[in-house]
Structure 1
Amino acid sequence: MSGVLYGVGLGPGDPELMTLKAHRLISSARVVAYPAPDTGESFARSIATDVISKDAREIPMVVPMRVDRFPAKQIYDEAAKTIAAELETGEDVVVLCEGDPFFYGSFMYLFERLSERFTCEVIPGVTSLTACASRLQRPLTSRNDVMTIIPGPLPDEAIRAHIDSAQALAIMKVGRHLPRLKALLQDMNLLDRAGYVERASLPSQKVLRLEDVADDAAPYFSMILIYKGDEAWTLPPSSSF
């Protein structure tokens, strides 16, 4: 019999935000795979470092962290072959994924390559979206409000259209687009409703009103949250976070 492929959500970074099921599967895993940059440590592995068995075989999937495009298809093709070889021996493989595997998670690329051949189980995790809302101390959405998630790299015209049709929204993948996004929200008279969170749940986290963010770029793990629905939800001063 083939092994089972587990896509395990780790949550946003704080190891205590891993689910009990994630903890159990990782701690008992004999084969663990995870995305890793070509320089520096794997964020996914760092979250689970105290849980991974010292006897576990590790499969780092090296994904270059670049602004320009890289051959991601080739990288996941090769990783899928390596993982499939383990599964074919009957060994289970636990794949670590920051946040939730199916919410902008890297595991989805392995799932689409392997799920037709092997049994797959997806373990949901606390998403960056809910983690950022908890740190901002403002609800995400309510009642019949429409919640929209917007990738920051989209052009201004597309972002503006999505914002116009939503009552609550999150802008992800902010990074180098921070100045442009702030200017767009200022033009739409929404800057004072926007909260900013980076590295939510980590010791280095930063929580501010967006208008108080002085940096000209943001890390990859950052998010802008805006509420423009009917509830009387406002943002406290940056100093209160």
Structure 2
Amino acid sequence: MTVRAVQIIAGADVIAYHSARHGRSIARSIAAEHLRADHIEEALIYPVTTESTDHPGGYRGALDEFYEAAAARLAVHLDAGRTVAVISEGDPLFYGSYQHMHKRLAHRYPTEVIPGVTSVSAAAARLGKPLAEADEVLTILPGTLPEEELTARLSSTDTAVVMKLGRTFPTVRRAMERSGRLPEAHYVERATMTGERTEKLADIDAETVPYFSVSVVPSRIADLPPSTGTSTEMATAMGTGTGTSTGTVTADEPSGPGEVVVVGTGPAGPLWLTPESRGALAAAEDLVGYTTYLDRVPPRPGQRRHASDNKVESERAELALDLARRGRKVAVVSGGDPGIFAMATAVLEVACQAPYRDIPVRVLPGVTAANAAAARAGAPLGHDYAVISLSDRLKPWEVIAERLHAAAGADLALALYNPGSRSRTWQVGKARELLLEHRAPDTPVILARDIGGPEESVRTVHLADLDPHQVDMRTLLIVGSSQTQAVRRDDGTQVVWTPRRYPEG
């Protein structure tokens, strides 16, 4: 208890506290040595705790009615000029029952809220482990959330505390396991009180877990080995990239399989990063990728980063798999969705060769540029569409032209990746000529550049007016079908959409 809390209790006329129907109050037991014989005690006994109720308003209705009645009881004392101290375990406004009294009384009577030590802080202290360090993000979750929601939030955060276990424990444990956090998770029961228990969460029997327990996934930084700094092992191994090297890849004997996870960062960065991908990036010991994409991932203590340019995909994949053979947890960082014109194919191609066939490889989905660009414009991909890369670096232009003919002839909307670069300046013009053989000159074409980035721009032009000089490698083109509409709305914005219903033949 804080010094101020003791002072308030000493000066109060009435001591109020919540309890279940058994009448035992944890808050009262904590404050018992400070209570006087002349204190008026108001035990605010819940009509229900976790059991069901036949109240016409259900569980919430029963509690709302109780809080109204409890507030009215305290108001009688306040109207009589008595000072009322409502004692609450932990902090009164942190998942505390007092908050319901506060909402009903604080606007009517002078009120002071005394902050307290939360179970979160007490649990971390009892474990002797930091909750969060440096730039780590701490997430506090109620165990009553659905399992999918718990899993997503546990996957995406650095450190976490899950409250309100008890009957939710099996769900919380499954969410910990699904998110990959179970090995890090600790269990703390009745922190700082009689009957305190701390163990690894994985070792806890669900039948023994009371409501007053929490699960703590503490700081990862605390358990990291001394920082290895930023590595450019990739650059040394292949003679590319920039920076100073921390060593070269050697043919070490495998120390047990690690893992390679191929992660897509979305078109621009954290706003479109899925919780699963965010968690994989945080858990990785090594990050491998094109420098531009690695720069989207915040540096973390203890992580090594292996950067390269964008023309060495196979070598990048081999490095990642070599690191995994040495027992490392590796994230290969890709833009957009890693399976769409990105790194997943390169990693899997190498992973299917000896000596990498036994290395676990996972591919995590991401938001791809076509989806992001379409959302910015409206819904131009609302019906059937094709995705085609205009780059002829890895396939001949004749194949590209044949596919454009086929997709345009089938009246599919088109998402065109890699339309141009400094060394490829004629492909967009050729594609426009070819598409005009199948599409009307006023077919909407969306030029989406740097979507999600600082230089984002989205413009819509007619197919006949498409200027190749306005297209670069950071631009994605979406070409409408014969049914695609470009409509100027009353607020001045233009939306492009393709109806889901296609005219009957």
Give me the TM-score of the superposition, normalised by structure 2.
0.41
Distance 1:227 1:25 in 2: 34
2:45 aligned with 1:54: no
In structure 2, the residue matched to 1:9 is: none
Are the structure 2 counterparts of residues 144 and 67 from structure 1 closer, same or farther at C-alpha, using a change threshold of 3 Å? Answer: farther
The within-5 A match list for 1:62-211 is 62-63=45-46, 64-68=48-52, 69=59, 71-211=62-202
| CA drift at 1:26 | 1.0
| CA drift at 1:226 | 0.8
| CA drift at 1:153 | 1.4
In structure 1, the residue matched to 2:7 is: 24
Q: Is the 8 A contact 2:14 2:83 kept in 1?
A: yes
Q: Is the 8 A contact 1:174 1:220 kept in 2?
A: yes
| CA drift at 1:24 | 1.5
Q: Is the 8 A contact 1:177 1:217 kept in 2?
A: no
| CA drift at 1:217 | 4.7
Distance 2:155 2:189 in 1: 25
Distance 2:105 2:165 in 1: 31
For residue 214 of structure 1, the aligned residue among 180, 202, 205 is 205
| CA drift at 1:46 | 1.2
Q: Partner letter of residue 158 of structure 2?
A: Q
| CA drift at 1:179 | 2.3
Q: Is the 8 A contact 2:154 2:176 kept in 1?
A: no
Identify the range of structure 1 (75-84 vs 122-131) with the bigger mean alpha-carbon deviation: 75-84
Q: Partner letter of residue 198 of structure 2?
A: V
Are the structure 2 counterparts of residues 52 and 187 from structure 1 closer, same or farther at C-alpha, using a change threshold of 3 Å? Answer: same
1:170-189, Cα deviation, whole Å (9 max, x unpaired): 11111122223223322332
Distance 2:178 2:73 in 1: 49
Identify the range of structure 1 (192-201 vs 174-183) with the bigger mean alpha-carbon deviation: 174-183
1:61-106, Cα deviation, whole Å (9 max, x unpaired): 1113224326111111111111111111221111111110010111
| CA drift at 1:228 | 6.1
Q: Is the 8 A contact 1:170 1:224 kept in 2?
A: yes
In structure 2, the residue matched to 1:34 is: 17
Identify the range of structure 1 (191-200 vs 206-215) with the bigger mean alpha-carbon deviation: 206-215
What secondary structure sits across from 2:101 in the alignment?
helix
Distance 1:41 1:31 in 2: 18
What secondary structure sits across from 1:123 in the alignment?
coil
Distance 1:96 1:213 in 2: 31
Distance 2:15 2:168 in 1: 34
2:220 aligned with 1:233: no
Are the structure 2 counterparts of residues 40 and 79 from structure 1 closer, same or farther at C-alpha, using a change threshold of 3 Å? Answer: closer
Distance 2:86 2:219 in 1: 38
Are the structure 2 counterparts of residues 82 and 40 from structure 1 closer, same or farther at C-alpha, using a change threshold of 3 Å? Answer: closer
Q: Partner letter of residue 94 of structure 1?
A: A
Are the structure 2 counterparts of residues 25 and 222 from structure 1 closer, same or farther at C-alpha, using a change threshold of 3 Å? Answer: same
In structure 2, the residue matched to 1:224 is: 215
| CA drift at 1:47 | 1.1
What secondary structure sits across from 2:207 in the alignment?
coil
Pair member with larger Rg:
2
Distance 1:142 1:122 in 2: 28
Relative contact order, higher structure (CA 8 A, sep 6+): 1
Instruction: In structure 1, list runs of 5 or more residues that go unmatched.
Output: 1-17, 235-241
Are the structure 2 counterparts of residues 215 and 161 from structure 1 closer, same or farther at C-alpha, using a change threshold of 3 Å? Answer: closer
Matched positions, count: 216
What secondary structure sits across from 2:223 in the alignment?
coil
CA-based RMSD of the aligned residues comes to 1.6
In structure 1, the residue matched to 2:276 is: none
Distance 2:168 2:16 in 1: 31
Spell out structure 1 runs of 4+ moving beyond 4 A. Answer: none
What secondary structure sits across from 1:50 in the alignment?
helix
